[in-house]
Structure 1
């Protein structure tokens, strides 16, 4: 008896899609159908009966999948092969994909037809071929143009040293500005197949300016809405932070190297007697070293994705309510997405597309 649950969520989704793909070879679809039924708890005998096969065939298909995954299901015995291309053509395809970085299977299928005269009627068979050749669908990461590994390492070491020696009467916050636009942001979601979804678009021209800070230890935030993010708004934010922590001796605020953070009036404000804030600057071109950048992403996910607001004022109210109240109140839920689990990004580890 084969135990249920041997499919990963990704494998199960791929197999169901393959089984429902009317353009896939019928024998390949039957194999996919058999694996999904086995994973749902059906016995080999029951699956074989449903598909008008013998149970040894079902067991053999299961063995192929366990050994080689989806690629194993695309191999057939004498009488045919799921692959239309010989070894030399496959190597040429692999080299072309590596050089051209095509964005769709449609583009790849067109190249194969033009170069070799082979037509892949089904997307699933072509995807199986690409996987078998060691090719995968990638979404490129966006990295800054100028990254200094040594400065990243030095910053991380300094930050960790500060945290390890931080007294109880001090705190660490990360600050930044964000400018969300009053516009609907469509995002993929599951829905009944017969429905066509839409979001009512807004003007997309108005935006709000928020200068804010977050305490990763407690989830407390300080968020001010401003007309313009500048040196004056920086001082307002720092005043808000000091007022929120009246009993602390020193508050460490980490921020980026925006010119207004270095402005003379900001330095003059910090030099006033009784000020309890010390600024620490993140290395240039390193937004990944500022956790509040991740908080902005969480905000968009909960406030702007698949959401539409009639007015910019309503949009501003919901955004600020989320950042000022919902984030601190639900910090255990959000903190794993807004962390100081820093890493060094090295351009040498990427193939940079041009």
Structure 2
């Protein structure tokens, strides 16, 4: 017999912007109301402010808000665009898969606010658990690709 699960139909949305340090497992995330250039800029500003003395290479996909001409890069962030149709190459996508599986599997929320509260708590757990995030996103080939040029 197939198990029955509650369904949740909604036309309200919230979005998480996130970046993971594949070397340390550190996660930076921000819950925002839209996916657009303005929100992407807010996220880049936040990451830059959290890591002012670091040079960051941020892998992004081809989403419109990632490649907008209106999106100015910051001095300490370089955006590296993935080839089209290759989301599996982006480490943060694997973090989102794990987050959905561990915190949202078969869950129904009474409102968008309740969902956002749950999402915020889940992100807090992940932001404090560098070991788990590193186990999801720290792939030897990507770490090697970034470290070899630094060693030469």
Normalising by structure 1, report the TM-score: 0.37
Q: What is the CA–CA distance in structure 2 between the aligned matches of 1:237 and 1:319, rounded to whole Å?
A: 17
Deviations 1:117-139 (A, max 9, x none): xxxxxxxxxxxxxxxxxxxxxxx
State whether residues 199 and 308 of structure 1, in contact with CA within 8 Å, keep that contact through their aligned partners in structure 2. Answer: no
* Helix, strand or coil at the partner of 1:264: coil
Does the alignment pair 1:340 with 2:109?
no
* Number of the residue aligned with 1:295: 95
Q: What is the CA–CA distance in structure 1 between the aligned matches of 2:84 and 2:104, rounded to whole Å?
A: 28
Gaps of 5+ in 2: 143-152
Structure 2 residue corresponding to 1:241, chosen from 42, 47, 50: 47
Cα–Cα, structure 1 residues 341 and 287, in superposed 2: closer, same or farther, change >3 Å? Answer: farther
For 1:34-49, what aligned pairs fall within 5 Å after superposition?
A: none
Does the alignment pair 1:258 with 2:58?
no
* Number of the residue aligned with 2:147: none
For 1:1-354, what aligned pairs fall within 5 Å after superposition?
A: 198-248=4-54, 250-266=55-71, 269-270=72-73, 275-323=75-123, 325-340=124-139
Q: What is the CA–CA distance in structure 1 between the aligned matches of 2:114 and 2:85, rounded to whole Å?
A: 33
Please report how far the alpha carbon of residue 229 of structure 1 lies from its aligned counterpart in structure 2 after TM superposition.
Answer: 0.7
Q: What is the CA–CA distance in structure 1 between the aligned matches of 2:3 and 2:64, rounded to whole Å?
A: 43
From the CA coordinates, give the structure whose radius of gyration is larger: 1
Please report how far the alpha carbon of residue 198 of structure 1 lies from its aligned counterpart in structure 2 after TM superposition.
Answer: 4.4
Deviations 1:265-293 (A, max 9, x none): 21xx32x7xx2111111111111110111
Deviations 1:57-109 (A, max 9, x none): xxxxxxxxxxxxxxxxxxxxxxxxxxxxxxxxxxxxxxxxxxxxxxxxxxxxx
* Helix, strand or coil at the partner of 1:259: coil
Gaps of 5+ in 1: 1-195, 344-354
State whether residues 27 and 130 of structure 2, in contact with CA within 8 Å, keep that contact through their aligned partners in structure 1. Answer: no
Please report how far the alpha carbon of residue 306 of structure 1 lies from its aligned counterpart in structure 2 after TM superposition.
Answer: 2.6
Please report how far the alpha carbon of residue 225 of structure 1 lies from its aligned counterpart in structure 2 after TM superposition.
Answer: 2.1
